[in-house]
Amino acid sequence: MGLGSLALLSSPMRRCQETAAPFAALSGQAAILNPAVSEVVAPASVGDRRTWLRENFPWDEGGVRRKWAHVDPALLAWRDDVTNAMRAVRRDSAIFSHFIAINVIVGAATDAEETMVFRPGHASITELALDAEALRVVSLGAEMQSADVR
């Protein structure tokens, strides 16, 4: 499969667009910006985003995992939007997304109850397949080597 045969989707956030740019140049196509694969947004009332992220999506190795059953309903709605967007993809695609969103997608593919299922490294590649509306993991990307999550 050549690069041109993959659809190119990206989060509208700058860092994903910058990561997608070399692929776009090689494949000769522009990325389709899709807000459904963007990063989770903290509520406006949250003063410290990093603390809020750690509370809802604890990524430290060996830390206690949070279950989706115990998060705010707005996070559940965001999770559903992300997974529905992935189930709607109808052709082979390269999708440039974010740490938490990738966890949502992998979690949906593995029926995980936890908000964090693995720690994808920067620019790692996770491969998924969609079979009859069911997501499944083909391979996980390399895991991060440090706790450098922003």
Band the pLDDT of 24: cuts 50, 70, 90: very high
Number of structural domains the chain divides into: 1
Does residue 150 carry a pLDDT above 70?
no
Q: Is residue 16 part of a domain?
A: no
Residues 89-140: pLDDT tens digits? Answer: 888 899 999 999 999 999 999 999 999 998 888 888 999 998 887 889 999 9
Residue range of the domain that includes 71: 42-139
Q: Is residue 27 part of a domain?
A: no
Q: Is residue 9 part of a domain?
A: no
Listed residue (35, 104, 110) closest to 66, CA to CA: 104
Q: Is residue 32 part of a domain?
A: no
- The answer to whether the beta carbons of residues 9 and 35 sit under 8 Å apart is no
Mean pLDDT (the chain) is 88
Q: Is residue 25 part of a domain?
A: no
Q: Is residue 96 part of a domain?
A: yes
Q: What is the mean pLDDT of residues 65-89?
A: 92
- Cα 99 to its chain centre, rounded Å, is 5
Q: Is residue 128 part of a domain?
A: yes
Task: Indicate the pTM of the whole model.
Answer: 0.87
